[in-house]
Amino acid sequence: MDRESNAKHSVLELMLLDASAEPMDLPLSLLEDITNGFSHDQQIGSGGFAVLYKGILGKVTIAVKKLSKTFDNHEKQFHEEVSCLMKAKHKNIVRFLGYCSDTRGKMVAFEGKLVMADVRQRLLCFEYLPRGSLDKYIAGSSYVLQWKESYQIIKEICEGLHYLHVERRIVHLDLKPTNILLDCNMVPKIADFGLSRRFCEKQSQILTAEVKGTLGYMAPEFVNNGQITFKSDIYSLGIIITEILTRQRGYRDVEDVLDIWRNRLQESQREIHLEQVRVCTEIAKECSDYNPANRPAIQDIINRLDETESVGGSIETRGSTLSVAQEEKDPSEQHQWTPKVPGEASDEDCRMEVGTILMKRYEIGRLIAQGDLAKVYYAQNLTSEQDVAIKMIDKDKVSSVELMVRIKREMTLMNLLGHPNVLKLVEVMASKSKLYFVLEYPKGGDLSTKIVTGGLHEDAARKYFRQLISAVEYCHSQGVYHRNLNLENILLDENGNLKISDFGLSVLPGSREDGLFHYPCGTPAYVAPEVLSWRGYAGAKVDIWSCGVILFVLVAGYLPFQGTDATDLFNKISLGKYECPSWISVKLKDILCKILDLDPSTRASVSSIKASAWYRNHIEVKACKGEATTSETTECSMLSKGKTKCSNSVGNQAPSSFTHSNAVGVISLSVKFYLSNLSEKKYGLWENKFTARLPAETLFARINELAEQLKLKVKKKENGILKLVASEEGMGRLELDAEVFELAPSFLLVEIKITNGDKEYELQMKVKDAVRLIFKDMVWAWQDDSHSQQPQFTLFR
């Protein structure tokens, strides 16, 4: 290390002891020395534009960010980032220590000659934060943030953003959990200013054609129009707050979030903390508004958080006082999810080894697959000798309420569906520490194994595609939208028959007035363009698009949309850029063109696909020869009353009575689960469902109380539905329908919906509040309309 490097080495060590010291330029030789020549062993992270190294400076560690792209078009971005970092000094902004802008001449071969080329090295140095980024604590981590930690992280992110917006007029433009780092005391610090923009004193917006960032956190007006304002960061903040509160992205009803936290808070402090949860949820919802004009300013957000701290007692926190009565419980004492399931084993930890007998019913075989949350084993039923796959989930790894909801939803939907081309859920079992899904065992692997040597002949692809369309049509007829169809989620049995699996992202119809879903999820290469547009999408249409991608891969042997990175891939999907291989038929090209239509309103439907020449060709030939097989001709048809009939399906069997229901039935009736398959779906302006354990007479008395509170009159309709209509002094033209289903003696499902009246949000909230007030002490579980806005798990992480 040269003399200059030695001097800077000493200065850098002193900087770490002096918080007021200014960042400085650092020689490349110093950074090479403290990172051991940018050794792979010192690497602690990497991204599309940089690699992060750990630098050892005596007894202190710093972070060294080495930019991997240093062309002319990245030079301006480097200068802008350094400029922003030099001005940003705040306890909730990662501390910037210095930079290196090194350019050296090097002889290189170019067009057969040796020429002198500039070799650029661009590096940034920061304080080292040992706890890593926020995403590790809100996305599948076994560590669950307690409320005091969650609130303080939210508050301090807001304070850091306030400093950037108000004092430095900087728009971060890439705010997300991976760019929020945590120190050893869990203090959040905003990092990575590579995309940031600085506004002049009177500047309020920037319009740009260069849209960069992370989909899922980028504001809609930025994605669609290139508009940058301070409200762009506010949108990202709303998504982050929602993730901290619920461990997932997407709008959630306030009551849902309160339910998530209610059982995790000690009773003595519950009401005070629940008020903070409510305020944070409302802030997140307002921040995530599609219209930037409706989003609050950062100062307004901080003021509202401050107001929640002015009520009740206090506990000590980092430099502030929170309104709580005492410390929270130890994490180990928090409420744990322990579903009560028939046949629950008493052993604390059922060890899954080859030859193990599980629940005296299944002999365990080899491990088939393993993921972060579950392991899948081959097994055999001891009585019937049926081959099954057992998915074992460790309850300790699903302490997150949102993961519980996802698992419950998958169980409920798989139990609802019965079709030869949908993977069958045999049963669910549980021990004190494990949950077991027993599934039919598809011996043929997944569909991707069929194209390892290239695309299939069109006849073979047609067979699989017809089974896929048959299964998708059936699911849609039951109101279930998969939203994650891909080759890996389509399995094959020993006869080569297709089985759709993995309903973890599946949903029932949307509850918004437009009937659409509004947040992205799925596997990137298979998602429809409207999923990326943030303007809402229909579940059926995105499933059809995914079917088109699958068909293309089956015949071509490769994906239609491919990119160098996620941004490039999404651009190609949004533009509909793909090329069909020369060897496929004109009829197949025609149906692919209609399925992979960018406009969902003109995209092919299931019925038009089944009527297409390519789809019908194989069927007609088989029919003429009299060789049609049952497995290839399974189709769904709609009965006159809207119910679905499917050949070889168990879906038409009458539901078991409540007293004889299996494990899935019991779990499905637990908190926050849809029972909508018990009644024909009718869409009103707003609706609410709940289950209750009480005599019907008591319930009807409460319905009369609801009518009195809303100044309505109760009338009984001929079909048994109670009609609540406006009296003269009541609420205008408001009308409600109340319908009651008896699931078992004194166990009722109640559905209340607005069927006529003002569509204003305030009116709907007034009705909703009245319903919750009147029935809150008798509800077994709310089956709320918010559950159709499902979590967004796999895309854009």
Domain boundary among 440, 467, 492: 440
User: Residue 682's CB: how many other CB atoms inside 10 A?
Assistant: 12
198-202 contact pairs (CB < 8 A, 24+): 198/80, 198/83, 198/84, 198/87, 198/168, 198/169, 198/170, 198/171, 199/169, 199/170, 199/171, 199/230, 200/169, 201/169
Q: In this structure, is residue 656 part of a structural domain? A: no
Token digits of residue 22: 């200014």
Q: In this structure, is residue 349 part of a structural domain? A: no
| Buried/exposed 121-142: b ≥16 CB within 10 Å, e otherwise | bbbbbbbbbebebbbebbbbee
Q: Assess whether 171 and 313 both reside in one domain.
A: yes
Give the H or E element holding residue 206: strand 206-207
Q: Assess whether 156 and 85 both reside in one domain.
A: no
Q: Assess whether 593 and 630 both reside in one domain.
A: yes
Report how many domains make up the chain: 5
Its pTM stands at 0.44
Domain boundary among 407, 440, 473: 440
Q: Assess whether 405 and 493 both reside in one domain.
A: no
Q: Assess whether 691 and 580 both reside in one domain.
A: no
Q: Which residues of the chain have pLDDT under 50?
A: 312-350, 511, 618-684, 785-797
Domain containing residue 102? 3-127
DSSP 605: P
Q: How far apart are the first and last CA of the chain?
A: 41
| Buried/exposed 34-59: b ≥16 CB within 10 Å, e otherwise | bbeebeeebeeeeeebbbbbbbebee
Q: In this structure, is residue 655 part of a structural domain? A: no
Determine the Cα–Cα distance for residues 362 and 348; give it in Å rounded to an integer. Answer: 18
Q: In this structure, is residue 120 part of a structural domain? A: yes
| H helix intervals, 652-794 | 663-668, 696-709, 761-775
In terms of Cβ atoms closer than 10 Å to its own Cβ (0-12, 13-18, 19+), residue 115 is exposed
Q: In this structure, is residue 766 part of a structural domain? A: yes
Token digits of residue 793: 């798990």
DSSP 163: I
Question: Binding site: residue ranges?
Answer: 66
DSSP 688: E
The residue among 434, 456, 261 whose CA lies nearest residue 341 is 434
Kindly give, in sequence order, each residue whose CB lies less than 8 Å from that of residue 50, ignoring residues fewer than 6 positions away: 65, 66, 67, 68, 194
**For 436-463, what is each residue's pLDDT tens digit?**
889 999 888 889 888 877 889 999 999 9
Q: Assess whether 533 and 388 both reside in one domain.
A: no
386: β partners? none
Q: In this structure, is residue 338 part of a structural domain? A: no
Is the Cα torsion angle 538, 543, 549, 551 positive or negative in sign? negative
**What's 26-83 look like in SS3?**
CCHHHHHHHCCCCCHHHEEEECCCEEEEEEEECCEEEEEEEECCCCHHHHHHHHHHHH
Q: 531 to each of 241, 480, 545, how far by Cα in Å?
A: 22, 17, 11
Q: Assess whether 367 and 313 both reside in one domain.
A: no
Q: Assess whether 106 and 241 both reside in one domain.
A: no
Q: Assess whether 685 and 629 both reside in one domain.
A: no
Determine the Cα–Cα distance for residues 7 and 26; give it in Å rounded to an integer. Answer: 10
Longest dimension (CA), the chain: 95
Say if CB 179 and CB 233 are below 8 A apart: no
Residue 671's SS3 state is coil
Q: What integer pLDDT is reported at residue 119 of this predicted model?
A: 81
Say if CB 764 and CB 782 are below 8 A apart: no
Report the CATH number at residue 318. 1.10.510.10
Q: In this structure, is residue 796 part of a structural domain? A: no
Q: In this structure, is residue 658 part of a structural domain? A: no
Amino acid identity of 653?
Q
State the residue for tokens 């193990």. Answer: 356
Cα 778 from chain centre: 32
Q: Assess whether 583 and 497 both reside in one domain.
A: yes
Token digits of residue 535: 């303007």
Kindly give, in sequence order, each residue whose CB lies less than 8 Å from that of residue 547, ignoring residues fewer than 6 positions away: 465, 468, 469, 472, 485, 595, 609
The residue among 567, 540, 538, 442 whose CA lies nearest residue 485 is 540
Say if CB 395 and CB 338 are below 8 A apart: yes
Question: Binding site for ATP: residue ranges?
Answer: 66
State the residue for tokens 């029935």. Answer: 775
Q: Assess whether 323 and 383 both reside in one domain.
A: no
Determine the Cα–Cα distance for residues 362 and 385; give it in Å rounded to an integer. Answer: 9
Going by DSSP bridges, is the β-strand pair 315-316/735-744 parallel, antiparallel, or unpaired? Answer: unpaired
**For 260-311, what is each residue's pLDDT tens digit?**
888 788 776 778 888 899 999 999 999 988 899 999 999 999 999 988 876 5
Determine the Cα–Cα distance for residues 672 and 65; give it in Å rounded to an integer. Answer: 45
Domain boundary among 80, 107, 127: 127
Report the CATH number at residue 30. 3.30.200.20
Angle between helices 270-287 and 147-162 (to 10 degrees): 40
Report the CATH number at residue 675. 3.30.310.80
Q: Assess whether 490 and 542 both reside in one domain.
A: yes
